[in-house]
Amino acid sequence: MLEKPLISIVTVSYNAVATIEQTILSVINQTYSNIEYIIIDGGSTDGTLDVIKKYADKIAYWVSEPDKGIYDAMNKGIKVATGEWINFMNCGDYFVANNTLESVFGSGKIYKKAEILYGDSIQLNVEKKINEVAMLDIGKLQYFPIYRHGASFVKTEVHKKYLFDLSKQKKYGFALDYHCIYRMYSDGYNFEKIDVFVLSYLKEGISNNPFKSLLYNYRIATDDKFRFSCLIRFGLGVIRLSLERMKPLLFPFYNFMLFYVGNKIIANVPIWEIRYLFYSLLGVRIGHGSQIDMNAYLIGAKYLVIGNNTHINRGCFLDARGDCRIGNNVSISHNVSIVTGGHEINSSSFVEQHSPIIIEDSVWIGVNAIVLKGVTIKKGAVVAAGAVVTKDVDEYTIVAGIPAVKIGERSRILEYKCKCGFYFT
């Protein structure tokens, strides 16, 4: 049996008595057994040390002494780490689930080529939880960070070579973590995306200044040299952030264009090419030979990704706010509802909650079926008409009922492509 790698988890703290206990508990309650937990405190005086001492028997190493800021403290953590991989789970942040590390490193998982693993995050605020699915396109790292730093694991031997460059802190501010990541990327280290929600973090934090983030990212990506592509992205980013600041004014217009014009007028135009153009402008990514038939209702269009030769029939409800990825050769029948959103039942403020839905290649979903948030329907599976899918469906499995349960298996020899492109559909 393969030995599980030792994972070094580093928490940096300073006067964080209000948040550190939740962070500590999220680490020490992991079901994964091979953890080296390190806490670097900057000399707290508010009771933080009392919390750390409370769990001292679960902590491999901790120290409380003055430092030169968060990145100096993080460097101290890197220097004392002895694990194979290192992760930073700083105060106020915490692992999404108690089995997060097991999901990444358990069950004999081996990452032969990867030197940096990165996963997905959940942003928390008063009103809702927002799933942030990290980008697959690693090439985008040349322009901006594609994942949250706390959702990553770096080979410790690599991180010891790439400490946070404190001499650049004045220039790059709170983006010094991206500067470190950018150096690893530029020097050819291997990044690998993992489909695990790793990190939950509060929106209010040290780096919650989008305009400064944009400026720091631009400086890092250009190294003060002219790069036309970076300049264009910087300009577009400024425009986007400016429009977001104007959201209260633009929101009624946006809602009018999306919910009325898009879902009431454009959705009923009997020419797919016109609907395709409008959906593309909204941000839907639609593969070759795919089609969304008339009378569909879309929410969260920019988070909807559709593969090739996929057919979505009339009257479907597509809620992609929590991220919805539909594969190739998928057939979605009339009046199917795909719902990534919902609310926490026991939340006093009825907090919104979103989780991604993934529908893999060659899936067939029958008439009036409902697929609820957080579900993955794997390759070749069939969902019977009227079924309500509340949990993952295995490859080539046929499910039916409320809630949907397995009733059979499908042939694994599937050579068809869904036919789309009929006029007036």
Q: What's the mean pLDDT in 106-114?
A: 87
Q: Which CATH superfamily is domain 7-218 in?
A: Spore Coat Polysaccharide Biosynthesis Protein SpsA; Chain A (3.90.550.10)
| 346 against 377, higher pLDDT | 377
pLDDT band at 204 (very low <50, low <70, confident <90, very high): low
Point out which residues pair with 40 in neighbouring strands: 12, 63
Q: Read off the pLDDT of residues 112-126 as tens digits, 9 standing for 90 and up.
A: 899 999 999 988 876
Q: Which of 65-79, 133-147, 259-273, 317-331 has the lowest mean pLDDT?
A: 133-147
Q: Which of 14-23, 37-46, 240-249, 254-263 has the lowest mean pLDDT?
A: 240-249
Query: How many other CB atoms sit within 10 Å of the CB of residue 40?
Result: 26
Residue 314 in contact with residue 296, Cβ under 8 Å?
yes
Q: What pLDDT shows up at residue 234?
A: 76
Q: What pLDDT shows up at residue 1?
A: 45
Alpha-carbon span 145 to 188, nearest angstrom: 16
| 395 against 302, higher pLDDT | 395
Alpha-carbon span 154 to 115, nearest angstrom: 6
Over the chain, what is the mean pLDDT? 89
179 is catalytic: no
Q: What pLDDT shows up at residue 48?
A: 96
Residue 226 scores a pLDDT above 80: no
Q: With 0-12 CB in 10 A as exposed, 13-18 as middle and 19+ as buried, what is 227?
A: middle
pLDDT band at 161 (very low <50, low <70, confident <90, very high): very high
| 383 against 144, higher pLDDT | 383
Beta strand extents in 14-147 (DSSP E only): 35-41, 61-64, 85-88, 94-95, 116-124, 129-132
- What angle separates helix 210-222 from helix 176-186, to the nearest 10 degrees? 30
pLDDT band at 207 (very low <50, low <70, confident <90, very high): low
Q: What pLDDT shows up at residue 354?
A: 85
Query: Active-site residue among 179, 334, 343, 354?
Result: 343
Topology of domain 269-409, CATH: UDP N-Acetylglucosamine Acyltransferase; domain 1 (2.160.10)
